Amino acid sequence: MAVKRPVWAVLTLLGVCAVVVYLADQLSKFWVKNTLPEGVSNPVLGDFLQFYFVRNPGAAFSIASGSTWIFSILAAIVTIVIIVFARKIRSVAWAVVFGLLLGGTLGNLTDRLTQQNAEGVVEFGHGLVIDFIYTPWMMPAIYNIADISIVSSMCLLVILTFSGIHIDGTRETRKKNTNEPPIGSNPTVTLQGGLTGQGGPGNGGTGGAGGN
């Protein structure tokens, strides 16, 4: 069944999600830069959660360090694609997916465009991303709110895809088995013998209507 939403409602939700994620990411990074010492572990909930301020030259979760400019280009492309195709979205769930992805992408892209590079110089497209969330029980990498948002959007995308929910708000319906008989119908029953007597009146046939 199709569940389509107005364009303005979907775009508003997408924009709100993106803005909330972006502000949360940038404000938290601003706080980290001005509060936490770099390269020092600060336990928040023991080993469960720690704040560990580092500057990441790679992608989310410190993947592919040293390729900052490549991820800057990819982030810019993702942002443009989302903006171009946003008008085709009619699903609330898909609006959340792209809102989370857009906010997270813009958050890390802002760092790459405005933060210092490995030499301590602000270089367009080569800035180091600020990471500070560390959960050693789950993974060895250090990450930030933008990373969490991007990964969450990918997980939700997979769920929606397997659920058959399309970007335009429609949903795939399961095909019915055409070999099954319609509900309420009875199979044809062939009766042999007993209903039609073989003997005439007065003749004791085998269970016929005219028998004894």
Q: Of how many residues is the chain composed?
A: 212
Q: Is 42 helix (H, G, I), strand (E, B) or coil?
A: strand
- Which amino acid does the sequence have at 208? G
CA 210 from centroid of its chain's CA atoms? 76
Which of 25, 47, 111, 147 is labelled catalytic?
147
Burial of 188 (0-12, 13-18, 19+ CB in 10 A): exposed
Catalytic status, residue 47? no
Q: How far apart are CA 109 and CA 147, in angstroms?
A: 11
Q: How far apart are CA 160 and CA 149, in angstroms?
A: 16
CA-based max dimension of the chain? 118
Catalytic status, residue 111? no
Catalytic residue set: 131, 147
